[in-house]
Amino acid sequence: MTPDLFEGDPDPRPLGEMNTTPLIDVLLVLLIMIIVTLPVLPHLTPLGLRAAPGASASDAVRVWVDETGTVFWQGEALPDRASLDAHLAALVAQPHPPPLHFDADGRGAFAPVMAVLAAVQRHGVPSFAVTGTERFLDRGGRRPAPPQEPGAITPGRSPAALRSSSGPRADRDGVP
C-alpha cells in the first residue's frame, strides 16, 4: 500500500526552521547589483595645478626619485624628507617660481613617489609636470611588452625548452 500523500503530518506543530535558500539568492543578487553599479574609486592624490606665469621648461626645477627611493633635487641627493620640504618651501616663496618637473624610476617603490607628490601638494607648488612618461610608450603610443627574463615563457618556446639553460634547441624540441 502506498501512503496517502495528502494525509497530514502526525505532528501538527509548526516547523521551527525556515528555508533560507530564497533569502540567500536574493542577497546574492543584491550584492551583485551593488558591485556592478558602484563606481570604481581610484586611488588618486588630487593636485590643484595652476600655470606659472612666464616660466619656461629651461628654467624648470627637476626632481626625481631613483630605484632605491632616494629623492634628487636638481641632481643633488636629498638626505631626508625635511630637506625636500625646505626646498619646496623656498621654491614656493619665490615671486615667480619656476615649474617643477618630476620623474621617477619605474622600477622603484611607489611609497617614495607618493611622498614627493603629497609634499608638492602640501606646499601648493604653482606649476608641476610629470616628465619621462614617454619611455613607457612605444612608437605607436602603446605600452611596450615587459622585458623578458631568461627562462620566461614566450610564444614559440616549448616547456621543454624552458627546462634547458641554453634556451630552445631545434635538434631537441623542434623549436628554432
What is this structure's pTM?
0.48
Residue 114 lies in a domain: yes
Give the Cα separation of 72 and 162 in Å (integer).
41
| Domain encompassing residue 132 | 105-138
Residue 13 lies in a domain: no
Summarised one tens digit per residue, pLDDT across range 113-161 is 899 999 999 999 888 888 877 766 655 555 555 555 544 444 444 445 4
Work out whether strand 71-73 and strand 76-77 pair parallel, antiparallel, or are unpaired. Answer: antiparallel
Domain count along the chain? 1
Q: Which amino acid is at 131?
A: T
C-alpha cell at 97: 617660481
Give the Cα separation of 162 and 48 in Å (integer).
50
Classify residue 63 by burial, with Cβ atoms within 10 Å: 0-12, 13-18, 19+: buried
